[in-house]
Amino acid sequence: MRKLNSRRLKVGATLLLVASLGLAGCSSDDGGSAGGGAPKANGKRLTIGVSLISQQIPILAKITQDFKALGDRYGYDVIITDPNNDAAKQIRQVRALIERKVDAIVTGAVNPESFEPVLDEAVAAGIPTVLVGIPPLEQRRGLVTVDFNWYDYGYAVGKAFAQCMNERQSGKGQVGLITTTAVSGPVVADRMKGERDAIKALAPGVDIVAEADGKSDRVKAVQGARTMLRAHGDIVGFTGIGDSEVMGAMQAFREAGKDPKNGCFVGLDGSEEGIKALKDGTLYAEFDPQYSNWMGAAAVILPEMVRDKKSAFWSSKTVLFTPAQATAE
């Protein structure tokens, strides 16, 4: 019997990441530390502003709440803003954070090109900024990107999907993908390319007959999958950009009178819903980049940068998480 966690993707622990730069558990004369206590700079409690693409996207809402919990744990204030996928609104919100003189910022740009002037303003104000998953178009001192090899991640997902098709469908059959235009950059493009490349290389008899834009919205993902199933009634499985989209496709699959346990569905992002579907067998595999580790890295990096302008993080460009397949448990 296939063991539950044998196909969950894990990444290196945050403390190992930070220790590699010699900064794990760093403390200062004011008594703040990366691992506990209340991080402070010049005797004052830190305030960190957060502006990710949209709090309506479940995984981004979870990432934001993870960081809020870290703030509560470590003793600094977190201001959460929600641009709701509106680039102009995000620019206004982040400028307001800069004007408020927050100590640091965590962000992921809705539109990286239009966001560049705001990053210039943060740099000019001396506010260290961590960008989550979306690097700046131009690197500047004081900007650190916490990122992931999205192609490798997508390839691992596609590999598991190909394995399912080889096992359950003799390496042949029609399948669909659910992607999104609600998020831009390599998070989507590289992830989806990795999936397509793996399926083509490892299950060449499988035909990706259609793709739908779920726009990071469950309702639109369901609608897109329904459309694909009406046009291609022989579709036997779906994967895509994230758990919300894959689970939406699974709903449409069931509505069409098909049993997901007899098809192929691979989830990704490690949502509670995805883990539950893995446990009940409706997902063949679930992959988890452990976003909480990303925010754990930011929770260490930013206070360190606020306390110490000579910190190595001020000169860093990217802190990269690398996927590694978990062993069977």
**Confidence band, pLDDT 50/70/90 cuts, at residue 322:** low
- The answer to whether residues 130 and 252 belong to one domain is no
Assess if residue 233 is contained within a domain.
Answer: yes
- What residues make up the domain containing 254? 150-268
Average pLDDT over residues 12-17: 32
- The answer to whether residues 99 and 40 belong to one domain is yes
Give me the phi and psi of 27, to 5 degrees please.
-125, 165
Residue 229, pLDDT > 80, answer yes
Tell me, what amino acid is at 282? T
CATH number at residue 228: 3.40.50.2300
The tally of domains found in the chain comes to 2
Least-confidence region, from 25-34, 53-62, 303-312 = 25-34
Strand ranges in 32-101 using DSSP code E only, listed in sequence order: 40-41, 44-45, 47-51, 77-81
pLDDT tens sequence across 197-227: 999 999 999 999 999 999 888 999 999 999 9
With CA atoms as reference, report the closest residue to 167 among 210, 207, 206. 206
- The answer to whether residues 130 and 158 belong to one domain is no
Gap between the Cα atoms of 251 and 210, Å rounded: 17
* Placement of tokens 């919300």 in the chain: 244
- The answer to whether residues 161 and 253 belong to one domain is yes
- The answer to whether residues 309 and 255 belong to one domain is no
**Confidence band, pLDDT 50/70/90 cuts, at residue 15:** very low
Assess if residue 46 is contained within a domain.
Answer: yes
- The answer to whether residues 170 and 215 belong to one domain is yes
Assess if residue 74 is contained within a domain.
Answer: yes
pLDDT tens sequence across 253-269: 999 999 999 999 999 88
**Across all residues in the chain, what is the average pLDDT?**
82
- The answer to whether residues 43 and 143 belong to one domain is yes
- The answer to whether residues 143 and 27 belong to one domain is yes
**Confidence band, pLDDT 50/70/90 cuts, at residue 41:** low
- The answer to whether residues 50 and 77 belong to one domain is yes
Assess if residue 275 is contained within a domain.
Answer: no
Average pLDDT over residues 226-240: 97
pLDDT tens sequence across 71-118: 888 888 999 999 998 999 999 999 999 999 999 999 989 888 999 999
Assess if residue 274 is contained within a domain.
Answer: no
- The answer to whether residues 172 and 186 belong to one domain is yes
Assess if residue 285 is contained within a domain.
Answer: no
> Is this model's pTM higher than 0.85 or not?
no
**Confidence band, pLDDT 50/70/90 cuts, at residue 147:** confident
**Confidence band, pLDDT 50/70/90 cuts, at residue 29:** very low
Assess if residue 276 is contained within a domain.
Answer: no
- The answer to whether residues 217 and 156 belong to one domain is yes
Gap between the Cα atoms of 190 and 21, Å rounded: 27
* Placement of tokens 């779920």 in the chain: 214
With CA atoms as reference, report the closest residue to 48 among 134, 132, 147, 139. 132
pLDDT at 64: 86
Assess if residue 241 is contained within a domain.
Answer: yes
pLDDT at 324: 41
- The answer to whether residues 98 and 210 belong to one domain is no
Other C-beta atoms closer than 10 Å to the C-beta of 7 total 23
Q: Who wins on pLDDT, 245 or 20? A: 245
